[in-house]
Amino acid sequence: MENFKIDVDADGVALVTFDVPGRSMNTLTASVIKEIGEVVERIKTDAAIKGAVITSGKTSGFCAGADLGELGGNGGLGGGDLQAAFDAGFALNKAFRALETCGKPVAAAINGLALGGGLEITLACHYRVVGDNPKTQLGLPESKVGLLPGAGGTQRLPRLMGVMQAAPYLLEGKSMKPQEALAFKVVNEVVAPGSEVEAAKTWVKTKGDPVAPWDKKDFKLPGGGPYTPGGSQVFVMGNAMLRKQSYGNYPAQLNIMKAVYEGLQVPIDAALRIETRYFLKTMMSPQAKGMIRTLFLSLQELGKGSGRPAGVPQYDVKKVAVLGAGMMGAGVAYVQAMAGIETVLIDQTQEAADKGKGYAEALVKKAVSRGKMTQEKGDGILALIHPTADYAQVKGSDLVIEAVFENRDVKAEVTKKAEAELADTAVFGSNTSTLPITGLAKASVRPANFIGIHFFSPVDKMGLVEIIMGAETSQETLAKSIDYVLKIRKTPIVVNDSRGFYTSRCFGTFVQEGMEMLAEGIAPAIIDNVGRATGMPRGPLEMHDDVALDLSYKIAQQTKKDLGDKYEDRPFTGIIEKMVDGLGRFGRKNGKGFYDYPESGPKTLWKGLSDVAPVKIADADKALIEEIRTRLLYRQAVEAARCFEEGVVVDPREADVGAILGWGFAPWTGGPISLIDGVGAAKFVETCDQLAQKYGSRFTPPQLLRDMAAKGESFYGRFAAQKAAA
């Protein structure tokens, strides 16, 4: 065996060390699953073995769960044959059940994180010991990538802690710390780190019980089962809450509920078969395929800098100047300092620069008060941020982030000031969200070193950075920018220049489509309620308030100025002008937009909105709800397809990851490109043509999509072929 090592001591206790070669963390690969069966057979049949302890040979933790790279890349278990698919899906359940019924006591010595299948293997052991490390996580995060726990998690966890207590860990993918797990009886003992194996061996030798609680005749489910007064309420309320939170978009959560409900009414062997059926049903859904690919595989690849040009030496960014100490600049300064980068934070006055540093001071104070950071570490972070109004302090910077107002003249002025202090090798990055990089680079004397580095607000919470290539930006500058983004622990996507680039351009269509509906007379409450039901974080009118109505107005004015006669006024243009110019309603920022934002209490729709945008449709039937839902999602997806045709984005991974991380595109789809691939290009084009006929050319599919529909192609299929050819 290459993944497990078995050492039997003088007392007959077999120490099974799980250590996948060549990997920093143990995962459940096909090879590991096969060898688990061999380990169980050895424990069961070797007369010299009286019991066993399973532990990890890695310092990184116990096991991170299934290898989603294998799972997501195998095109579906069983190759389309249902029996073969079931057998393959049931393999891990079968192996763990064999371990649980081997007739000898087996303990798990959990020396670090145990997630997904990593926790499930410990649940199949008769006793669990975990080291008392607050950084250790125990959990079943499968639902976060559109799956359900498929190796006994939906059956053993509720049997240990009760359905109500298990629900957040199954449905939300929450993790628990060792002391929490002990309180919930998920583990039996918490010991000092490093003594897990010793404690587990002691149990095997002194108290070892080879029968799981649910295999004993007197077993009672904590909190009661589905048909007890207490247990039935959990499922009734749980079903309602699930619908409220997921809007039926996530099959994994519904199937988890079904697996638990049905499984708890039958013996464990039948329950595990039920779980496997729901696991397969979930895994074969387009939602699971899209979410695994985007939220795990693609995110991991991009997070390692897969888009970085080859042949460029690593660029270690040690000092960065941030121009503009407003909310964005202040956030950038904070994340840079957190990554150990010396930061010069510049604004027009010392007072404004100091205020920008105050943002980092507030975040550090909060982290220290919550015990997440020591005062010493916090002081060290703040010492790296130097607020100033003096551009001479830019000297020696490896990179500049320009984060001033979205005004060409202001940006040109600070570009010239900063470049006067920069070395020839330094990178100049603009944080503009809409203005084309090639145009901004005209103010630069080194356009090859000029690039877009677009952050998202709030910077300390948003994990994406959109890197935009200008017409003259060099590959070396791109490589340096990616190195910088990885150093501050963000995920980079690389796009080519255009107005709004990729993220702002596509996100804008969601907000604009909501405005189109408002202008059509659809009630604001219907627009936003259906908007949230699509899986977007907020409705389009709420989102518009968040980004600020006056910002939209200013961008529209700048775009109108740039495009001249080519600019097209929309039916909702007058609504925005009235809200901003006429009524001073700028959105959340000044407490009044489409919604009113009282100092205390929840926001409410502004009662005067119907005077600005008269309501013609106050009720929505099922057909209208479905049409609004389709319009909001497809409008964004067709724009993403246009970005491909125009060469703004060339990698579907970047398009999908950028959409979900950048503006919160419905995660259940896997992203707008996965949505198109899941629906099928032909069907998507057909629906868009129908919408275009009814609502206008903004829904007209680009020629690229028509060609793909005719050839039966998908975006990911095309990308894989191009990658293989390269």
Q: Beta strand 342-346 with 4-8: parallel, antiparallel or unpaired? A: unpaired
- What is the chain's mean pLDDT, rounded? 92
**Annotated active-site residue in 35, 419, 421, 466:** 466
- Residue 376: active-site member: no
What are the pLDDT digits (tens) for 369-403?
998 899 999 999 999 999 999 999 999 999 999 99
Residue 619 has pLDDT above 80, yes or no: yes
Residue 435 is predicted with a pLDDT of 86
pLDDT computed for residue 669 by the predictor: 95
Backbone φ and ψ for 723, nearest 5 degrees, come out as: -65, -40
Question: Is residue 244 exposed (0-12), middle (13-18) or buried (19+ Cβ within 10 Å)?
Answer: exposed
Q: Is the per-residue pLDDT at 537 higher than 60? A: yes
Contacts of 96 (CB under 8 A, 6+ apart): 36, 120, 121, 123, 124, 151, 152
Of the CA atoms within 13 Å of residue 347, those in its CB half-sphere come to 20
Q: What is the average per-residue pLDDT within 536-560?
A: 87
Q: Look up residue 495 and give its two tokens.
A: 């796009």
Residue 124 near residue 152 (C-beta atoms within 8 A): yes
- Whether 243 shows a pLDDT value over 90: the answer reads no
pLDDT (tens digit per residue) in 671-712: 999 999 999 999 999 999 999 999 999 999 999 999 999 999
Q: Can you give 42-103 as a three-state secondary structure string?
A: HHHHCCCCCEEEEEECCCCCCECCECHHHHHHCCCHHHHCHHHHHHHHHHHHHHHHHHHCCC
Look up residue 347 and give its amino acid.
Answer: D
Cα 447 from Cα 470, distance rounded (Å): 8
Confidence class for position 307, pLDDT limits 50, 70, 90? confident
Residue 568, pLDDT above cutoff 80: no
Confidence bin at 333 (pLDDT 50/70/90): very high
Cα 276 to Cα 88: distance, rounded to the nearest angstrom: 10
| Alpha helix (H) residue ranges in 101-228 | 117-123, 153-161, 163-171, 178-183, 196-206
Of the pLDDT bands very low, low, confident and very high (cuts 50, 70, 90), residue 554 is confident
Mean pLDDT of 11-29: 93
Output the pLDDT for position 453.
96
Average pLDDT, integer, range 333-353: 96
Look up residue 408 and give its amino acid. R
What are 193-214's pLDDT values in tens digits? 999 999 999 999 999 999 999 9
The share of the chain scoring above pLDDT 90, in percent, equals 78
pLDDT, average across residues 521-544: 95
Q: In whole angstroms, what is the distance from residue 137 CA to residue 169 CA?
A: 12
pLDDT tens-digit series, residues 114-139: 999 999 999 999 999 999 998 899 99
Average pLDDT (567-585) is 88
Confidence of residue 75 (pLDDT cuts 50, 70, 90): very low
Here the tokens at position 519 are 């202008």
| pLDDT of 224 | 83
Whether the per-residue pLDDT at 72 is higher than 50: the answer is yes
pLDDT-derived band at 89, boundaries 50, 70, 90: confident
Give me the sheet containing 114-115, strands edge to edge. 114-115, 138-139, 175-176
Residues 6+ apart with CB under 8 A from 14: 6, 7, 8, 42, 43, 46, 49, 51, 52, 53
